[in-house]
Each structure stands twice: as structure tokens, then as C-alpha cells.
Amino acid sequence: MATKIFGLIGYPLGHSFSRKFFNNKFRNEDIDAEYRNFEIDDISLAENIFLQSEICGLNVTIPYKQQIIPLLNEVDKDAQAIGSVNVIKFVRKGELVKTIGFNTDIIGFHDSIAPHIAYALSEYQSILPRAHQETGKWLIQT
């Protein structure tokens, strides 16, 4: 079985730590895979990357998170709703390749902010009715 290839599409990519991070992870977990940077200065070049038979998945970074969408066969409903893709899954059946775009940024954003919103709502839920009552009393008195 051939080494699975994963990678990152964007421009520029000199700042990215993804290649080092994932290649270390693959090596440490004995996974037969390689992570490559695909630094392209024009989104149309992404189609050439898609044709590489060993590609299993790609991450997408700036400036192509929106520009990549028309090149994909399918886009997840969340990625479609926000108009941005940062992960591409490749589904292969023989010679046919299907590309599906997702956005995992929304998951990270939600998971990082949700506990704070829940806390704020629980803390202020008891204050808001009193504040509303006090404001009402103040309005009546003026």
C-alpha cells in the first residue's frame, strides 16, 4: 500500500508549522503517511494537486478558504453556510475522485466560546430580572 499523502494548500506557507507537526505525529504513531506543503500562488493550481492519486486529504489556509469552494464536488452544509472551507476529504472509487469540503474552524470556535456563554448566561440570569425590575422602578419614579 502506498504512503498516504496529506497536506496544506495556501500562499505563503513559510509560517506554517503543520508539516513538521503532522510528520512528527505520523512518525511517532507509526502511520504510513506524509504531510506536504502545497504553496501555490494561484488557486487554479489546486486542481493539479487533486489529481495526485495518493492525496487523501488537505487543509486549506489563506488566501484560498473561499476560492477553493467552486473547485470541490461537494461542500458540507456548515462550510456552505459560512462560505469557507479549511479541510478537504478525498473519496476515491477506482479512477473517480470526489472532493468534499468542510470547515473545522467553526467547531473550534464553538467549543472555545460555548462554555463562556453558558457561564455568562447562568451568572447573569438571576441578575437580569432584578436589573429589569430596578430599571422599571426607576422609570416609574422619573
Report the half-sphere exposure of 98 (CA within 13 A, side-chain side): 8
Of the candidates 63, 70, 107, 69, the residue with the CA atom closest to the CA atom of residue 85? 69
65 is catalytic: yes
Burial (Cβ within 10 Å: 0-12, 13-18, ≥19) of residue 59: buried
Distance of CA 108 to the CA centre of its chain: 8
The answer to whether residues 62 and 12 touch, using CB atoms and an 8 Å cutoff, is: no
Exactly one of 4, 20, 25, 65 is catalytic; name it: 65
Active site residues: 65
